[in-house]
């Protein structure tokens, strides 16, 4: 066992002495040591109950003859951090989480790991850390939140609350109606109930085979979810206690190129958050997999969008997907197209191949999960755009587009999210504009703020199908509308988005994967000659370090190595 390095031989007597102080007995030194990476924190709705989850998991690990050692990572709630400078810390927290997992697991030579994430950057951060450690690892998230209802019985979620602010500002709803939505949009613990970033990453974990079936869709705080926790604990012990299985199920043997491609296939089929692009590129880098931004469009062209979930379809939530057959039904259905674009022979942590895992799955409600003969779209729910405005790419969640898939309009430029919010509320944005929010990229923000507040205001004020938005920042998974993010190169590194001026005409054609500004080469060269990026001053030591090391979004906003 890997843990023998800290517990075998006379030379490790001091180490054993310290371990005995934690309660270990003689017999425990013969057992595998299992790291329980928990992301419990009391301020995040998807995490405040994870201390109870880890208690269930540790109890099961002990019953199975292994020794659990729980440790915690940090977490940032993107919804609470949204709309102020707290969001600067959200994406950087992914790196802290990855470093924390690597640090604890490798410093103490633990044999295997069970990871308990749920929301926002915590899932990809733990995955990145697990890839560095490369021991058998099972991912088991806390589970999705139930959808809420207004007093009139209308299904709502967090996205409803954000968009309600715009409706209130425009006089469409009253203060009482806003309060009703506020009090009922998030009715319980769990990751927010739509196909936002957390649930996107939790379903992709299932698609990659690093989590058990049901990980992405079984509701939090249910008996069904509790049984899934126990199954995950039993499985990691089964692997850890067998040397051959421990070697077979090393994390990188499961999370490889086939698994990453499978994740993007499922992402396209379900119209996941645009943040998945950012995180999956970072995960591919950690896995040593050659997967580039431009590869995503080739997948999108071949995968039908068959499951439309809030925010793309506001009445459908994760609990509905679970009732309709879950992720296994989605995977089974999309595997039928042209022989399937999935790697069905990919190994999963439960021992069977992905194809074997979904062999008996079926769609139980074709109004929720469509068939490939009746898709929402014959192409996937995400697209990468290229052109003189984004030579290294920009991302659009096509599943969230309202109306046409082309847009031409006059730019109205803002140099920060705060500036944009004031401008939108103040009536500066008019029908036909493309709202440009720049200096919010990985370096410029720094930390690549999410733009849910401005996009929600646009939707709430009735401009959703009438304007577009372009940013070098990113979007919440709850964003919908003609919203283009991750524009690379970003303004802070001299990207074309920084050269735009009010009134410039921007053309976007999603089906042609193009985004261009109508400027000739001479005008672009003229602007470049006098351009100086606006670099925001920072007082935070951590954010200064992050800005110095981070790459742009086309590389997954990973930190530079040597």
The dihedral region occupied by 490, where left means phi > 0, alpha psi between -120 and 50, and beta the remainder, is beta
Residue 544 burial (CB count, 10 A): 13
Q: How far apart are CA 192 and CA 201, in angstroms?
A: 12
Number of H helices, E strands in the chain: 22, 14
470 touches 436 (CB < 8 A): yes
Q: How far apart are CA 127 and CA 97, in angstroms?
A: 9
For residue 171, the SS3 value is: coil
Cα 269 off chain centre by: 16
For residue 370, the SS3 value is: coil
Q: Mapped to the 3 state alphabet, what secondary structure does 17-64 carry?
A: HHHHHCCCCHHHHHCCEEEEEECCCCCCCCCCCHHHHHHHHHHHHHHC
421 touches 455 (CB < 8 A): no
| Residues 237, 220, 342, 324, CA torsion sign | positive
Q: How far apart are CA 61 and CA 530, in angstroms?
A: 63
Angle (deg, nearest 10), helices 541-549 and 90-107:
90
Q: How far apart are CA 545 and CA 17, in angstroms?
A: 38
CB crowding 499-516: b at 16 or more within 10 Å, else e: bbeeebebbbbbeebbbb
Quote the DSSP letter at residue 555: G
For residue 538, the SS3 value is: coil
Give me the catalytic one of 343, 476, 488, 554. Answer: 476
Cα 345 off chain centre by: 25
Q: How far apart are CA 101 and CA 456, in angstroms?
A: 35
Q: How far apart are CA 222 and CA 318, in angstroms?
A: 14
Q: How far apart are CA 550 and CA 268, in angstroms?
A: 27
Is 170 assigned a catalytic role? no
| Tokens of residue 372, six digits | 């490939």
125 touches 98 (CB < 8 A): yes
Q: How far apart are CA 416 and CA 453, in angstroms?
A: 12
How many CA within 13 A on the CB side of residue 122? 29
Query: Both ends of the chain: CA-CA distance in Å?
Result: 31
Q: How far apart are CA 413 and CA 436, in angstroms?
A: 5
Angle at CA of residue 140, ends 137 and 145, nearest 5° = 160
Query: Catalytic amino acids?
Result: 476
């Amino acid at each position: 066992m890997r843990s023998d390095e800290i517990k075998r031989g006379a030379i490790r007597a001091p180490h054993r002495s310290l371990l005995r102080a934690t309660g270990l007995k003689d017999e425990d030194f013969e057992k595998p040591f299992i790291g329980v990476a928990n992301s419990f924190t009391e301020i995040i709705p998807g995490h405040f109950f994870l201390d109870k989850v880890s208690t269930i998991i540790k109890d099961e690990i002990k019953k199975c003859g292994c020794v659990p050692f729980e440790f915690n990572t940090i977490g940032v709630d993107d919804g609470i951090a949204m709309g102020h400078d707290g969001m600067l810390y959200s994406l950087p927290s992914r790196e802290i989480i990855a470093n924390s997992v690597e640090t604890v697991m490798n410093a103490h030579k633990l044999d295997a790991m069970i990871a308990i994430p749920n929301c926002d950057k915590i899932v990809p951060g733990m995955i990145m850390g697990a890839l560095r450690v490369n021991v058998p690892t099972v991912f088991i998230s806390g589970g999705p939140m139930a959808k809420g209802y207004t007093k009139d019985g209308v299904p709502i979620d967090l996205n409803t609350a954000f968009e309600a602010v715009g409706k209130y500002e425009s006089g469409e709803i009253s203060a009482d109606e806003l309060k009703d939505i506020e009090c009922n949009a998030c009715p319980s613990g769990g990751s927010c109930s739509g196909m936002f970033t957390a649930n996107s990453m939790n379903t992709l974990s299932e698609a990659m085979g690093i989590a058990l079936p049901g990980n992405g869709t079984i509701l939090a705080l249910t008996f069904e979810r509790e049984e899934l926790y126990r199954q995950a604990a039993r499985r990691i012990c089964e692997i850890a206690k067998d040397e051959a299985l421990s070697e077979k199920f090393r994390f990188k043997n499961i999370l490889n190129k086939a698994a990453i491609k499978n994740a993007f296939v499922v992402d396209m089929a379900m119209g996941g958050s645009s943040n998945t692009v950012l995180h999956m590129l970072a995960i591919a880098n950690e896995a040593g997999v050659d997967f580039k931004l431009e590869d995503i469009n080739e997948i999108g062209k071949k995968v039908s969008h068959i499951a439309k979930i809030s925010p793309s379809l506001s009445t459908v939530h994760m609990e509905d997907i679970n009732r309709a057959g879950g992720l296994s039904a989605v995977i089974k259905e999309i595997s039928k197209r042209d022989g399937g674009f999935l790697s069905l022979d990919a190994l999963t942590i439960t021992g069977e191949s992905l194809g074997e895992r979904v062999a008996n799955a079926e769609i139980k409600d074709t109004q929720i999960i469509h068939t490939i003969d009746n898709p929402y779209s014959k192409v996937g729910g995400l697209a990468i755009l290229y052109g003189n405005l984004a030579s290294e790419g920009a991302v659009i969640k096509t599943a969230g587009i309202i109306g046409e898939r082309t847009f031409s309009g006059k730019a109205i430029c803002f140099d920060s999210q705060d500036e944009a919010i004031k401008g939108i509320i103040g009536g500066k944005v008019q029908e036909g504009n493309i709202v440009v929010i720049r200096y919010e990229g990985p370096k410029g923000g720094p930390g690549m703020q999410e733009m849910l507040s401005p996009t929600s205001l646009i939707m709430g004020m009735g401009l959703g199908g009438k304007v577009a938005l372009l940013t070098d920042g990113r979007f919440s998974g709850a964003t919908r509308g003609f919203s283009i993010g991750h524009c690379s190169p970003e303004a802070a590194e001299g990207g074309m988005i920084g050269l735009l001026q009010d009134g410039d005409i921007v053309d976007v054609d999603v089906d042609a994967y193009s985004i261009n500004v109508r400027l000739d080469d001479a005008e672009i060269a003229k602007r470049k000659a006098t351009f100086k990026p606006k670099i925001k001053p920072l007082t935070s030591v951590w954010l200064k370090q992050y800005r110095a090391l981070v790459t742009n979004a086309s590389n997954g906003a990973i930190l530079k190595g040597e």
